[in-house]
Chains A and B, each alone.
Chain A
Amino acid sequence: MPTASLPSNHSHRSRHRDLGLTDVEYELILAVLGRHPNDLELAMFSLMWSEHCSYKHSKRLLRRLPTEGPHVLLGPGENAGAVDVGDGLAVAFKVESHNHPSAVEPFQGAATGVGGILRDVFAVGARPIAILDSLRFGEPAASERSRYLLERAVAGIGHYGNSIGVATVGGEIYFDQAYEQNCLINAMCLGLAPHGRLIRSAAVGPGNVLVLLGALTGRDGIGGASVLASAEFGEGDADKRPSVQIGDPFTEKKLLECCLELLEDDLLVSLQDLGAAGLTSASAEMASKGGLGLDLDVGRVPLREPGMEPFEVMVSESQERMLCVVTPDLVPDVIAVCDRWEVLCTEIGAVTDNGRLRVLDGAEVVGDLPVAALVDECPMYNLEPEAPIVSLYPSPAPVLGGGETPAEVLLALLGSPNLASRRPVFEQYDCIVGSRTVRRPDAADAAVLELPGGAALAISIDGNGRRVACDPRAGAAEAVYECSANLACVGAEPLGLTNCLNFGNPEKPHVAWQLVEAVEGLARACEALGVPVVGGNVSLYNEAPTGPILPTPVVGMVGRLPDASRAGQIGFTNDGDAIALVGPFAPSLTGSELAKLRGAAPAGDLPVMEPGAVREAHATVRDAVCAGALSSAHDIAEGGLAVALAECCVAGGIGARLKVRIDDWVRELFGEAPGCAFVVSGAEEVLGPLGRVIGRVGGDTLVIPGALEVAVSELRAVRDNGLLQYASSAVWSE
């Protein structure tokens, strides 16, 4: 059918703007097509050319990140990256944001964030085995909205992860007023697969059948990628609620088991999950990667409600759906497996060799676009970075005046929402399903999951927006160092990482500068430690009328340790053990939690770490843990040395006494330099060669001579209550 006869609408001049396309972009579409797109085609362009799908402001920048390494099996571009973990097994993983939907409707937003990242992982053929979350909210003490978002987002994550039977093994939460209007919900998933089961998403073989699996398609989430994810927040966001999808973990559980069985039986040629921009994005991506075309009949897509227009079917973000390519002879076998799992399975089209994405409604062609135009022709934008002269962020209200004793400062830090025990949150997550969890939350700096054969995986997720705001390059590098340090504490060597870049509006020069600097910092740290980036996600436009969020690159790192039974842990254990400080330790108050409690804006230079020394310190701790030489290992992060010691005491239920002289207690005890230095305990003769022995384990108080003496029971009580007081303040009924 000639394209000239497609229903066309010439009043696009205003419509493309409503859909988030600029006038220049629309002109480009006209040039590429040689005609006006019809409404369906315009909707497809608006999604594929949105920031969320096209990465048009970040793609050039992301090329800076190192993506190659000896263990990499799948790199960026697939649904999830994957690395080799030995014994013929691969680990696939990815972190992704669901920030904007969660700010509008936290329960479903967070739940479907988990659902989406799970699909990304089983889309490459891996069985999801772990979830981690990185969450940011406004100040809980000051903001009822932030307490509500925390409560409901945590409930949503638990609802999805618990119900589908994938362990939530770790994560992090920070509170800052900069996230008040725009919370961050980043979810990371990790899956396990034999090498042979890994599958790509590229469409293969003209004549092969396109099969849609899973849930019915409804009107939910229409335009989510362009409306929610690619624009700033403003007034009237409640109206955007219909753009948030609704999750059904039971449907996804069946879909997950069904897809893995289909792959186990070798029935699929390619597999792709349906996420943002639904069928449009999934089909365009599959066709583009395969260098082929697709015919897709919207009339065959099973619908949840009658009367849906073709464009609605193509852009719907209904959850729990997958698209796969099957050779015609195997379709009956695919249907049989789907029937057994009670998963809907529908032939909706075919692979073609014409490089076009044709949308049919029965016999009628309702859209016909070159795949390359949708996927490759989207204009890429250069950022125009400009360093700000003063901090973009106001000073927080001071909690501490400055006249406190060291003990008072320590207790204030331990009880602050950013450092207090996460138990009220992680107890709402099933962290043990799957029978692999060797280190549960709070037991060690990284989660540890046993692999078949006795080795183990270690996973950590980290990012400190306050420090990145001070110095984006150094702060972003610290996130990489911190994750690697966390892995070292359990004895694991890094294999790869995934990242989620949460930033404000990149069209603004100061935000662009944060983004450019942070990516440079990430790249250099990855190169220094030899850890490749195997995938990730970019979330921009995280802004409210009050300004951008703190620049928040979140890093999720996966490593391997040879012997699960020797996984390190955090708590001091043996009365009489020596305590040593390992690694370069140059603490400073800039960007520290104490600086925040004292009302300082996030500004100033961070200490610059020599990457070689960082790498060496990590190797020292890692090797000692692997050798079974240490009783405990913990990296010195937020809150500095004193907080790290207190955490080791509380975890182990035993005290400690330092025997070193403290000259400048504010800086030495509470200054920060994350990801570089460690507190370890063990026999003195073992620790001597590793670092500087600074004290001894024992008693029931933490004693730092000349500075403080606090009972472990008091440390624990304060730390336990810090978040609990906000997390249990309200019960919101679903």
Chain B
Amino acid sequence: MKFGIVRFPGSCDDVDALLAAQRVGEAVMLWHADSDLQGVDAVIVPGGFSYGDYLRAGAIARFAPMMEEVAEFARDGGLVLGICNGFQVLCEAGLLPGALLPNISLRFVCRQVRLDVMSEYSPFTRACPLGEPLSIPVKHTTGRYYAPEHGLADTQVLLRYAPGENPNGSDRDIAGVCNESGNVFGLMPHPEHAVDPLTGSSDGLAIFESIRAHVADRVVA
């Protein structure tokens, strides 16, 4: 299977995402100004500060030529994972519900947090061990998730901060949500920074494993 990582000017965790994805499959960089998805099976919109996050986090990146391809890929059922800034971009692009607001502390926060997995069936969490919280770091200034009560079904919430772990004041402790069809997923924590016990944790690998397993099943089907 082949991952594609969208690289914007100002992306910071693009190489990290590439290295993490390469632990479970092939991975290539997709340049923001290009329009060729290179036949990837899943797209990752990585963390960082695309276009400096000027105007509003993620607000400019959604207009990149590559993002038009990603939107079409998503409409066709392709798997799209947005991490941190990528989550912000996907919300700005209308591919995910809700918005990310400044942290309640108004400060950047970098911290290892525990996450409860809310679904064992999603293409993004199916490989996560049942009932065990994931230890994954967050690092952001604009990560307080908000969605109107009726704009988001409970089934769309795939990850919540474990009790007492909410680092940013997110609504209902929401850490990650998917779209209604379940093929686009955004989260503030960084699974690509939790793929090796040497650098803190390997719990994030389950997210990449889930994507790989889902794509493999689809190919077989």
A residues near B (Cβ < 8 Å) are 155, 158-159, 162-165, 248-251, 253-254, 257, 341-342, 426-438, 440, 450, 564-565, 731
Residues on B with C-beta less than 8 A from A250 are 9-10, 49, 51-54
Question: Quick check: is B64 within 8 A (CB to CB) of the other chain?
Answer: no
**Separation in Å of the A507 CB from the closest CB of chain B?**
41
Give the shortest distance, in Å, between B11 (CB) and chain A (any CB): 8
**In the complex, which of the residues B9, B13, B106, B107 contacts A341, with contact meaning CB atoms closer than 8 Å?**
B9
Q: How far is the CA of A249 from the CA of B54 in the complex (A)?
A: 11
A432 touching B199, Cβ below 8 Å:
yes
CA distance A445 to B192 in the complex (A): 26
Question: 29 A-B residue contacts at CB 8 Å?
Answer: A162-B141, A163-B52, A163-B53, A165-B11, A165-B13, A249-B52, A250-B49, A250-B51, A250-B54, A254-B9, A341-B9, A342-B9, A427-B110, A428-B107, A428-B108, A428-B110, A429-B110, A430-B108, A431-B110, A432-B137, A432-B193, A432-B200, A433-B13, A433-B16, A433-B139, A435-B19, A437-B199, A450-B199, A731-B105
Q: Does B1 contact A (CB under 8 A)?
A: no
Q: Give the distance in Å from the alpha carbon of A427 to the alpha carbon of B19 in the complex.
A: 24
| Chain B hits for A438, CB < 8 A | 198-199
A342: chain B residues at CB < 8 Å are 9
Contacts of A163 in B (CB 8 A): 10, 12, 49, 52-53
Which residues of B lie under 8 Å from residue A248 when comparing CB positions? 52
Q: Given A163-B53, A249-B49, A435-B192, output 19 extra A-B contacts at Cβ < 8 Å.
A: A165-B13, A250-B9, A250-B10, A250-B51, A427-B109, A430-B110, A432-B200, A433-B12, A433-B13, A434-B15, A434-B16, A435-B16, A435-B19, A435-B193, A435-B199, A438-B199, A450-B198, A450-B199, A564-B198
The reply to whether B199 and A162 contact each other, CB–CB distance below 8 Å, is: no
Q: Does B86 contact A (CB under 8 A)?
A: no
Least Cβ distance of B203 to chain A in Å? 14
B139 touches A158 (CB 8 A): no
Let me know if B111 is at the binding interface, CB within 8 A: yes
Instruction: Please give, as numbers and ranges, the residues of chain B lying within 8 Å of A426 by CB-CB distance.
Output: 110
CA–CA, A587 and B101, complex, Å: 51
Query: 3 nearest interchain CB pairs?
Result: A165-B12, A250-B52, A163-B49
Give the complex CA separation of A471 and B195 in angstroms: 48
Q: Report whether A432 and B52 are in contact in the complex, using a CB–CB cutoff of 8 Å.
A: no
| Residue of B9, B11, B48 contacting most chain A CB atoms (<10 Å) | B9
Mask: chain B, 120-155; 1 = CB below 8 Å from A; 0 = not: 000000000000000001010100000000000000
With A and B bound together, what is the CA distance between A429 and B199 in angstroms?
16
Q: Would you give the shortest CB distance from A676 to chain B, in whole angstroms?
A: 30
Q: How far is the CB of B46 from chain A (nearest CB, A)?
A: 10
Bits for B86-112, please: 1 = Cβ < 8 Å to A, else 0: 000000000000000000011111110
- A162 CA to B139 CA in the complex, in Å? 9
Q: How large is the interface on B (under 10, 10 to 19, 20 to 34, 35 or more residues)?
A: 20 to 34
In the bound complex, residues from chain B placing their C-beta under 8 Å from that of A159 are 108
Minimum Cβ distance to chain A for residue B97 (Å): 27
Complex: A437 Cα to B193 Cα, angstroms: 10
- Complex contacts, A341 vs chain B, CB 8 Å: 9
The residue of chain B having its C-beta at the shortest distance from the C-beta of A342 within the complex is: B9
User: A400 CB to closest chain B CB, in angstroms?
Assistant: 32
B106 touches A253 (CB 8 A): no
- In the bound complex, CA of A249 to CA of B11 (Å): 12
Find the B residue at minimum CB distance from A734.
B106
Residues of B within 8 A of A432 (CB): 110, 137, 139, 190, 193, 199-200
Could you say which residues of chain A place their CB within 8 Å of the CB of B139?
Answer: 162, 430, 432-433
Which residues in window 181-195 of B have CB below 8 A to A?
190, 192-193, 195
- For A254, list chain B residues within 8 Å (CB): 9-10
Within 8 A of A (CB), among B48-69: 48-49, 51-54
B146 to chain A, nearest CB (A): 20
**Complex CA–CA separation, A158 to B107 (angstroms):** 9
Within 8 A of A (CB), among B1-43: 9-13, 15-16, 19-20
Contact (A429, B108) CB under 8 Å given A250-B54, A435-B199: yes
User: Which residue of B is nearest A441, CB measured?
Assistant: B110
Determine which of B9, B20, B108, B190 lies in contact with A162 in the assembled complex, contact meaning CB atoms within 8 Å: B108
Q: Quick one: closest A residue to B9, CB to CB?
A: A254
CB proximity of A330 to chain B, nearest CB, Å: 23
- How far is A163 from B85 in the complex, measured between Cα atoms in Å? 11
A165: chain B residues at CB < 8 Å are: 11-13, 48-49
- In the bound complex, how far is the Cα of B139 from the Cα of A434, in angstroms? 13
Q: Mark B163-204, 1 if CB is under 8 A from A, else 0.
A: 000000000000000000000000000101101101110000
Closest residue to A443 on the B side, CB-wise?
B200
Residue numbers in A under 8 Å from B15 (CB-CB): 434-435
Neighbouring A residues of B12 by C-beta, 8 Å: 163-165, 253, 430, 433
Residues of B within 8 A of A429 (CB): 108, 110
- In angstroms, Cα B19 to Cα A438, docked, is 16
Cα distance A254–B106 when bound, in Å? 26
Smallest CB separation, A598 vs chain B (Å): 35
